[in-house]
Amino acid sequence: MNEIESSALPPRGPAEHAIREQIVAAAEQHFSRYGYEKTTVSDLAKSIGFSKAYIYKFFDSKQAIGEAICSKTLSAIIAAVEEAVAGATTPTEKFRRMFKALTTTSVSLFFNDRKLYDIAASAAGEGWPSARGYAQRIRQILADIVREGRETGEFERKTPLDETVHAIYLVVQPYANPLLLQHNLDLVEAAPVQLSNLVLRSLAP
C-alpha cells in the first residue's frame, strides 16, 4: 500500500469514499491480528502506511472506524433477517424465521470472525449509534410482524402493541446482543425454536 502524504487535502466524492473504504479494509485486517481494544489510531496508521493526521481527515476517532466496520456487519444481519421474513407467508412463520435467521447469522458473523465480535461487543457495550440503530430495526421488524398477526387474527389484540413488542424483544435480546450471545452459544440450535414456541403461545388469541 502506497503511503499518502498527510499534507494532501482529502479528496471529495467517489475518490474520498474509495480512500475511506481503503482505511476501513486495512483496519479490519489490523484488528483481526491485534484486536480492536488493543489498537490505537497511531498503531493503525503505522501499519497501513498512512499518517495519523491523514486518517483523522476521514475518521475523527478509532470508534468512527469501528462504527464503519460494525455498521456493515449489523446491516448484513438485518438483511438476512429481512430476507427470511420476506420468504414467509404468515406472521407466525415470519417470527420463527426471524428468530432463527437473527441467531444463526449473528453467530456466523460474530464468532467465526473474532475481530467483528470485538467491535460489535464494544458497540453494544458503549451504545454506539450503529448498535442503537440495529436494535431499533429489530424492534421495528417485530412490531410489523405482531401488527400483521393482529390484523389477520393470528395474534391477540388485548395487550398494548408497544408492551407486547418490548416483551418479545427481551426474549430475543440474548440472541441479538453480542455481549449476551456469547453466553448462549450452546443453546443457539434449540433456543430459537423453544422460545419461538413460547412467544407464539403467548400471542395466541
Helix (H) or strand (E) holding 116: helix 114-126
% pLDDT > 70, the chain: 91
* Residue 106 near residue 177 (C-beta atoms within 8 A): no
Please give the backbone phi and psi of residue 137, each rounded to the nearest 5 degrees, phi first: -70, -40
Nearest in space to 27 (alpha carbons), one of 5, 2, 35, 14: 35
At the topology level, CATH places domain 65-203 in: Tetracycline Repressor; domain 2 (1.10.357)
Q: What angle do CA 83, 84, 90 make, to 5 degrees?
A: 120
The residue ranking higher by pLDDT, 3 or 92, is 92
Here the contacts of 75-79 (C-beta below 8 Å, separation 24 or greater) are: 76/105, 76/109, 77/102, 77/105, 77/106, 77/109, 77/134, 78/134, 78/137, 78/138
pLDDT digits (tens, 9 = 90+) for 152-171: 999 999 999 999 999 999 99
Predicted confidence (pLDDT) per residue in 106-154, tens digit: 888 777 666 677 788 888 888 889 889 999 999 999 999 999 999 999 9
Residue 199's closest CA among 101, 95, 113, 97?
95
Mean pLDDT of the chain, nearest integer: 84
- Residue 72 Cα distances to 22, 131, 171, angstroms: 14, 11, 25
pLDDT of residue 115: 67
Query: Residue 180: what pLDDT?
Result: 83
pTM: 0.79
Which sequence spans correspond to the domains of the chain?
A: 14-60, 65-203
Query: Domain 14-60 maps to which CATH number in 1.10.10.60, 3.40.50.1370, 2.60.200.20, 1.10.1040.10?
Result: 1.10.10.60
Does residue 7 surpass a pLDDT of 90? no
